[in-house]
Amino acid sequence: MNRKLSMAKFGLVLGAVCLGLVPGLSAQSATVTVFATGLNNPRGLKFGPKGVNLFVAEGGTGGTRSTIGKCEQAAPGPGPYTGGFTARISKISPKGVRTTVAAHLPSSQTSPAIGSLVSGVADIAFIDNTLYALKAGAGCSHGLLNTNNGVLVVNPDGSWKEIANLSAFQKAHPVAHPEADDFEPDGTWYSMVASGDAFYAIEPNHGELDKIDKSGKITRVVDISASQGHIVPTAMTELLGGIFLISNLDTFPITPGSSSLFVATKTGSFVKLVSGFTAVLGLAARNGKIYVLEMSNVANGPAPHTGDIVSVDLSGHKQTVASGLDFPTGMTFGPDGNLYVSNKGFGFGPGEGEILKITLH
């Protein structure tokens, strides 16, 4: 597998980041306001095709169902999981009013030994005005019998149908270097973007980037574990057609500066672009800058009030533009040029999750 970008493609990466460059733009400060409340472990978020409403994937509140003795469980520590059907997808109006788009989706939580962290719907994406979602909290290893992690299509009436079984794909196509001490048979999918007529999704636990077409066909794009080991890749965004920016969380406890940004292509290239970030869970690019969402920036964390957003320009200069966030888990640009962030994305009670609006100055 070729993991080297040609100079021409590297130039495209830089050009993509520079699209719409505004001379003199400086994100030296930002105004942070609460845009919406009442969410349950909010994760990936994107504006709809018309750019009016914001759609948010929610992890849910887990549940008490167990599959111990019925199938392979996640590694001790995170496992054994328990689960329920409490995840959902919400729509946020321009005035910050939340309504439910789809509900009763699989949601699961880790063992109390590590704090009962919840996973459910991980991310969303649109193709041809149709909403699709990425499930991360399903599967027998997550306490939910007869369910699978995968990609689903959401109908206008809120009903949904699974189009791709990612649990089965991972079991049939193991990565080169899975981490035995942190292994989850059904995976814990995190980010998904639509590119052309297909989706590209990141799975952190196994360490892979996969392509899913609308017919449900799944193909491995990059086995990240093969070259990087267990770096826990998380967020991704598309810089240009076929070129993706990917970040990694790294393992806990947190070591400041241990996360990096990588560039991947649809043809399987995968190279490190820049290092020195911490526990990254979100990415966005606009106006000559990359914006990096750090979930917690302190050693031995995560810890409350230590999330931030760091910008990096083409010279590699980094600037903290917002700080004091509480376990943020997702980020996107709005049509108004503001950043929108899923805040209180884990570790908080039902309804305590929120969406922040970050106005850059």
* 67 within some domain: yes
* 118 within some domain: yes
* 294 within some domain: yes
* 357 within some domain: no
Q: From first to last of its 361 residues, what are the pLDDT tens digits of the chain?
A: 333 333 333 333 444 443 332 323 233 479 999 999 999 999 999 999 999 999 999 999 999 999 999 999 999 999 999 999 999 999 999 999 999 999 999 999 999 988 889 999 999 999 999 999 999 999 999 999 999 999 999 999 999 999 999 999 999 999 999 999 999 999 999 999 999 999 999 999 999 999 999 999 999 999 999 999 999 999 999 998 889 999 999 999 999 999 999 999 999 999 999 999 999 999 999 988 999 999 999 999 999 999 999 999 888 899 999 999 999 999 999 999 999 999 999 999 999 999 999 999 8
* 35 within some domain: no
DSSP codes of every residue in 42-83 = EEEEEE-TTSSSEEEEE-----SB--TTTSPPPPBTTBSPEE
* 167 within some domain: yes
Q: How far apart are CA 136 and CA 193, in angstroms?
A: 15
Residue range(s) defining the domain that contains residue 292: 7-22+44-299
CATH number at residue 126: 2.120.10
Q: How far apart are CA 245 and CA 2, in angstroms?
A: 17
pLDDT of residue 28: 46
* 38 within some domain: no
Q: How far apart are CA 175 and CA 118, in angstroms?
A: 24
Structure tokens at 91: 């729509």
Number of structural domains the chain divides into: 1
* CB 101, CB 137: distance < 8 Å: no
* 2 within some domain: no
